[in-house]
Structure formats: structure tokens, C-alpha cells
Amino acid sequence: MEIRGLGFFPLLWITWTLLGLGTLVALTVISGHEKYPYISDTGKELPESAVYTTVFMVASILGAGLTYIQYRFMIIQSQPSEKRYIICQRILLAMGWIACIGTAVSAAYSLKTNPTAHRIGAGVAFLCNAFFNVCQAVRLYKRSFGSRRMCHLRLAFASVTCLILVIFAFTQTFFYFHLCSDQCLKIVYAFGISSEYLGFSALTLHQLTNWTDFQRLSLKLSREGVSICLREKIQDPENPA
């Protein structure tokens, strides 16, 4: 059995994540728990906390699949002699999976039940995802089937994510160290929420730029197992013919 074209996979992840987050924000605001919630605030109370866990646990599993598909694409597009490149891709694969584990941890532990575990998981997920996307965006200038404009857009989304991460971390220091007055905190709070949602949007939209490359891949199911390859025959450095 062969599934030709895996472009549906990032679309599935994007649809699930955005619909889930939209539902969470709506539930949180309608229930009166938070008027302007951070993403993490949408999982504090019931019934949102149950939805939050489901949404981001599934998102972490789908994200792990996306990370592996990206890894396979980059490996297939490389040459057997590029040993260092293949090693770097394996390191990035591990980093991508660590980001997915961080997402799962933040889904399993809410700000109310275990704030430390939640913040560590969310921070690791955000940081590792941002680094993974930047590295792959740079590499894909030479290996992507997409246009040059698409490569520019991919790198822009990845760069915005990193910039937003810095801004978000900066705003949070004001809360934890009580560095300003009440009026100042309101401004910082607004910047914090805006940066978090913008960063999350950039991470999400980044997956759209992989559609062209993923469409060139096939998923083959056989008695020997599951394999991912280009729809055209090409030598795989990890599994040379």
C-alpha cells in the first residue's frame, strides 16, 4: 500500500491545533475564568483543562510525526558522502522530538496542578521548535522543491518565532521579579499575550511552507514495515541500494 503525497499531514496538524486553541480560548472567556488569557491560562480550570490536555497531547504526537517526515525528506535529499550533514539531521530530529515531549509535558501538567513542570515543558517546546525551524529553513534553500519565495517565507516565519521568543521571555521577567508598577504591568501583560499568540501563529504557519516538499513524498506500507521516500526513485544515504 502506498500513500502518494504527504502534504495533508501538516494541514492536519495546523487544523487540529488552531481549532483546538480557538475552542480553548472561547471556553475560557465564556466561562469567565480569564478575559484575556495566555495560552497556558486556557488549561487552568475545568472543563478547559481536559480539552487543553487532549488538544496539545494529540498535537505533540502529530508534531513528532511531522518532525520525522521532515527528517526523512532532508536525508533523502542528501548525498551518501555528506556524513556530517546526516549527523546534524539526526541531532535536529532529536531536538524536534524533545520539543514534542515538552509539549506533552505542558499538556499533562497545567499551571494549576504543577506550574513548574508546565513552564519548563512549554519553554523547552517553544525554544526547541524555534531552533529546529530556523536550522531546517536555512538548509531547505538548497534542498526544497518549493520556490525561492517560499524559502524566504519559511525563514521569515522561523526568524519571527525566535524574535517573539526573546520578547516573550523579556516580558515575563517583569512579572517574576516585580520590576514595575501596576500600570506598567498592564502594558507588559498586553505585550506578553500578543507575543505569545504571534509566536504560536508563526510556528503554526511555518508548517504550511512544507506542503510542497511533503507532497513529493510517499508513505509505503508493506510486510517489511513502513517507509517514507520520494515519489520519484532516489538513492537514500541511510539505505543505499
pLDDT of residue 234: 45
How far is residue 152's CA from residue 138's CA, in Å, rounded to a whole number? 9
Q: Where are the beta strands (DSSP E) in the chain?
A: 2-4, 217-222, 225-230
- Cα dihedral across residues 147, 237, 91, 60: positive or negative: positive
Q: Which three cell numbers mark 141?
A: 534553500
Residue 3 and residue 219: Cα distance in Å, rounded? Answer: 5
pLDDT digit string, tens, across residues 139-188:
999 999 999 999 999 999 999 999 999 988 888 887 777 777 777 888 88
CA distance 120 to 235: 40
What's the whole-model pTM score?
0.89
Comparison of pLDDT for 25 and 233, the residue scoring more:
25
Q: Say if CB 42 and CB 28 are below 8 A apart.
A: yes
Over range 87-110, report the average pLDDT.
96
Instruction: Tell me the C-alpha distance between 215 and 191, whole Å.
Output: 37
Helix (H) or strand (E) holding 12: helix 8-31
C-alpha cell at 135: 536550522
